[in-house]
Amino acid sequence: MITIEKLHKSFGDLDVLTGIDLHVAPHEAVCVIGPSGSGKSTLLRCVNGLESITSGTISVDGIDIGASRNNLAQVRREVGMVFQQFNLFPHMTALENVTLAPTRVRKLSKADAVARAERLLARVGLADKRNAYPAQLSGGQQQRVAIARALAMEPRVMLFDEPTSALDPEIVGEVLDTMRGLANDGMTMMVVTHEMGFAREVSDRVVFMDKGQIVEVSTPADLFSAPKQARTQDFLNKVL
Amino acid sequence: MNLYFGDILPFMGEMLTALGMSFGITVASFLIGGVFSVAVYAAKASPVRALSAVASGYIGLFRNTPLLVQIYLIYFGLPVFGINLDVLQASLIALSLNNAAYCAEIIRGGFSSVSKGLVEAGEALGLDAWTIFTRVSLIPALRAVYPSLVNQFVHLFLTSSIASIIGLPELMHAILEINSQTYRSIEVLAIGALLYFASGFLISFVARVAERFLFRWAVSV
Amino acid sequence: MSEEFLGQLAGLLNGAVWTLALCSSAGIAGTAFGFVLGLGQTSSRAILRWPAVVYVTVVRGVPVLLLIFFVYFGVPLLFGVNLDPFLTGFLSLALVGAAYTGEIFRGAIEAVPRGQTEAAHALGLGYADRLFRVIMPQALRIAVPAGTGFLINLVKDSSLIGIIGFVELTRAAKILSNLTLDPLGAFLMAAAIYFVISFVISRTGNAIERRLTPKLGKRARIQESSLTPTGH
């Protein structure tokens, strides 16, 4: 579903990604872990073109995102993204946040978009908050609306960029539950996270990154209990 | 010395009429300059370097020279080109051009204050640049600049008094006229100051009440 | 022709010198008074706070031109002294400037985190030490950009002093335009001189601000610049 080959990315003379190769299969949930500054968020942001690529290729569902603006637009319609800071549109209600892109991009009728949005808000447990503005919602509720907003485009891939890092510890669970549900339904997912428990339990494979490179890719059972690389071992010792 | 306001009372109607002129020219030049400022901002943000340089030059010149000199240039300088403006036209043009330079800077600040994350969220949803501008960035940007725009309006209202120097019959002009007729300088200036201050206060107050209705979404409950 | 031009320019530059004299003296006096007003506005004692707040609010809410006339007509009536045009201009710009700098000082003092005062209290520092050793060094850095704006506004406001008969730059340009019958040339030259003065002030302000800002390492600067949006 997602194929990344020889990906390099630099900001000025700072190299952030130095040669990434990764393949994510359909219905696979992949968690990306690693120390801060390892380039994991940048990697995720390259997948839907929020960061331009310095060299290498990324294709989603066979479409090379770097080849043309049209390809990029096509990929963005198929890839949903959830941000660390939620990034809900502050001047729109929860319902308006969820219906905007389907009506503007997918050209859905207003009624269809509202029906879909209501279904999705119910799915993330926020049916009663449809008319609330983001400022009136807790962080966990905002993030769940953001997930519903991304799902409303019926994406084939979901990207999560540290979705729980800005949340208070006691409400991290409600967002992780929503994500667990998605993974169980077979959504293709790439998740950058610091939640090791979630990575171990939900992902099919775990990617460990450090200093702009993939150090180790493995099933969670192998990576967490028998890491092959010293750097992985080091990192896990610090965080677990 | 003793203060006596009795001599001023017969002139109150004149002062209020003049206040109306002050307010009117402020509204007109705020609107004209406000619309023009959007074009100036667009030119400044444009990738065409010549356009951007002209806009920067315009903003720099009007913000770094006195309004009085700008008024003189338009009222006394333009007739050299055969453009003869009356006092009202010259004042309106000078205040509008001046206001546009300030508003262009305010608008620029507003759009740069809209979090990059909002634009990215729009991009990630596949929205095109125009939709992101109109539906995602515009209203939060207006929300961000609203207090600055209100301040600029009040500032423009106060500085419009400078147009009295070329003879625009606004409040400051009326104050000086009444002063020369009554010789009650302290009293007439005090009443004039009170009218300016109270109007500015009222404008800010109304704007603050309106803000709550205009930007309900920003209020957390 | 060019000698004539130089003669005209000399007349304007003479006016500009008086503009600078007016602004530097009023700027210094206004800032000193404004400092007191800033302390007053941030004082915990109502009897110090209220007069400062009222002064700053009223002066900022009234046109500068009106305040100039207030000093021009009012001081002789209220105090029985006749001021010459320079002193009238100096006094009115200083009184106006004090309200603006008072507001700048208030903002800067309030921008210093409350914990700084609390930490200074906890160390047992006296009022003067808390103010001059802890709060002001931090507040001044915050105040520099606003201070630059204040000085530029002061120079622009000083153009109004010509109205009461003092020959500063704008008045000099007006006189010149009456002599040469070339208002466009005279006011454009004046505008250019004002622009240069503002430019020098803002460049100096930027340099001071840079010097007062702790330097970032190269890596930090690159990361910071990568945060600013660039077009795709």
The domains found in chain B, sorted by start residue, are: 10-214 (1.10.3720.10)
Instruction: For chain A, say whether C220 makes contact (Cβ under 8 Å).
Output: no
**Is the Cβ of A212 closer than 8 Å to some Cβ of chain C?**
no
Q: Hey, which chains touch C, using 3+ CB pairs under 8 Å?
A: A, B
Cβ-proximal residues to A157 (8 Å cutoff; 6+ apart), any chain: A1, A2, A24, A47, A60, A61, A78, A79, A80, A187, A188, A189, A190
Two structure tokens written together for C88: 């009238």
Instruction: Answer yes or no: do A85 and B124 touch at CB < 8 A.
Output: no
- pTM value? 0.83
Taking CB atoms and an 8 Å limit, are A14 and C225 in contact across chains? no
User: Under an 8 A CB cutoff, do B115 and A136 touch?
Assistant: no
pLDDT at B8: 81
**How many angstroms separate the CA atoms of B103 and B98, rounded?**
9
- Disruptive mutation site among B125, B132, B143, B216 for chain A (greatest number of A CBs within 10 Å): B125
Of C157, C5, C186, C172, nearest to B73 (Cα)? Answer: C186
CB-based contact A100 B125, cutoff 8 Å: yes
Mutation site, B217, B220, B221, interface A, largest A CB count within 10 A? B217
Tell me how close the Cα of B142 comes to any Cα of chain A, in angstroms.
11
Q: Which residues of B touch A145 (CB under 8 A)?
A: none
Write the DSSP symbol of residue B75. Answer: I
For position C226, what pLDDT does the model report?
Answer: 39
C-alpha angle with apex A165: A164 to A166, nearest 5 degrees?
95
Query: Which residues in chain A have their CB less than 8 angstroms from residue C226's CB?
Result: 11-12, 14
Q: Using the beta-carbon criterion (under 8 Å), do B118 and A50 form an inter-chain contact?
A: no
pLDDT at residue C199, as a whole number: 95
Those residues of chain C whose CB sits closer than 8 Å to some CB in chain B are 58, 61-67, 69-70, 73-74, 77-78, 152, 155-160, 162-163, 170, 173-174, 177, 182-184, 187-188, 190-191, 194-195, 198-199, 202, 227, 229, 232
Interface test with C, best of B23, B61, B189 (most C CBs within 10 A): B189
Output the pLDDT for position B196: 97
Residue C204's CB: how many other CB atoms inside 10 A? Answer: 12
Strand order in the sheet with A79-82: A79-82, A157-161, A188-192, A29-33, A205-210, A213-218
CA B26 to chain A, closest CA, distance in angstroms equals 30
pLDDT at B23 exceeding the cut of 50: yes
Tens digit of each residue's pLDDT (9 = 90 or more) over B144-185: 999 999 999 999 999 999 999 999 999 999 999 999 999 889
CA atoms within 13 A on the CB side of A43: 36
Residue contact C222–A12, C-beta within 8 A: yes
Question: Under an 8 A CB cutoff, do B217 and A149 touch?
Answer: no
Res. B11 pLDDT band, cuts 50 70 90: confident
Provide the chain B residues 66-125 that lie in CB contact (below 8 A) with chain A.
115, 117-118, 120-125
**Minimal CA separation from A11 to chain C, in Å:** 6
Q: What three-state secondary structure class fits C45?
A: coil
Whether residue B203 has pLDDT greater than 70: yes
Question: Residue B121 is nearest to which of A73, A83, A104, comparing CB atoms?
Answer: A83
A193 in B contact zone (CB under 8 Å): no
Which of these, A183, A134, A129, A180, lies nearest to A157 by C-alpha position?
Answer: A183
Residue by residue, DSSP assigns chain A as -EEEEEEEEEETTEEEEEEEEEEE-TT-EEEEE--TTSSHHHHHHHHTTSS--SEEEEEETTEETTT-HHHHHHHHHHEEEE-TT----TTS-HHHHHHHHHHHTS---HHHHHHHHHHHHHHTT-GGGTT--GGGS-HHHHHHHHHHHHHTT--SEEEEESTTTTS-HHHHHHHHHHHHHHHHTT-EEEEE-S-HHHHHHH-SEEEEEETTEEEEEE-HHHHHHS-SSHHHHHHHHHH-
Q: Do B77 and C78 touch (CB under 8 A)?
A: no
Name beta bridge partners: B62: none
Find out whether A29 and A203 touch, Cβ atoms under 8 Å.
yes
CB atoms within 10 A of CB B14: 16
Q: What's residue C137's pLDDT?
A: 87
Q: How much is the average pLDDT of B13-23?
A: 95
Q: Taking CB atoms and an 8 Å limit, are B66 and C229 in contact across chains?
A: no
Q: Which two tokens stand for residue B188?
A: 């007439």
pLDDT in the model for residue C4: 78
Which residues of B sit within 8 Å Cβ distance of C? 1, 60-61, 64-70, 72-73, 76-80, 116, 119, 123, 158-159, 161-162, 164-165, 172, 175-176, 179, 185-186, 189, 192-193, 196-197, 200-201
Nearest CB neighbour to B197, from listed C62, C70, C188: C62
Helix C183-212 crosses helix C169-180 at what angle (to 10 degrees)? 160
Q: Note the pLDDT tens digit of each residue in C48-84.
A: 999 999 999 999 999 999 999 999 999 998 898 988 9
Q: Give the model's confidence band at B1: pLDDT under 50 very low, under 70 low, under 90 confident, else very high.
A: low
pLDDT values of chain A reduced to their tens digit, one per residue, 240 residues: 999 999 999 998 899 999 999 999 999 999 999 998 899 999 999 999 999 999 999 999 999 998 888 999 999 999 999 999 999 999 999 999 999 999 999 999 999 999 999 999 999 999 999 999 999 999 999 999 999 999 999 999 999 999 999 888 888 988 999 999 999 999 999 999 999 989 998 899 999 999 999 999 999 999 999 999 999 999 999 887
User: Chain C: nearest CA to A48, how far in angstroms?
Assistant: 12
Q: DSSP assignment of B105-144, as one string? A: HHHHHHHHHS-HHHHHHHHHTT--HHHIIIIIIHHHHHHH
Q: Mean pLDDT of residues grouped by 10 in chain C (232 residues)? A: 77 94 97 96 93 96 96 91 93 97 94 88 86 88 91 97 94 92 93 96 91 60 39 34
Q: For residues A212 and A43, what is the distance between their CA atoms, to the nearest angstrom?
A: 9
Q: Which of A47, A32, A48, A61 is nearest to A208 (CA)?
A: A32
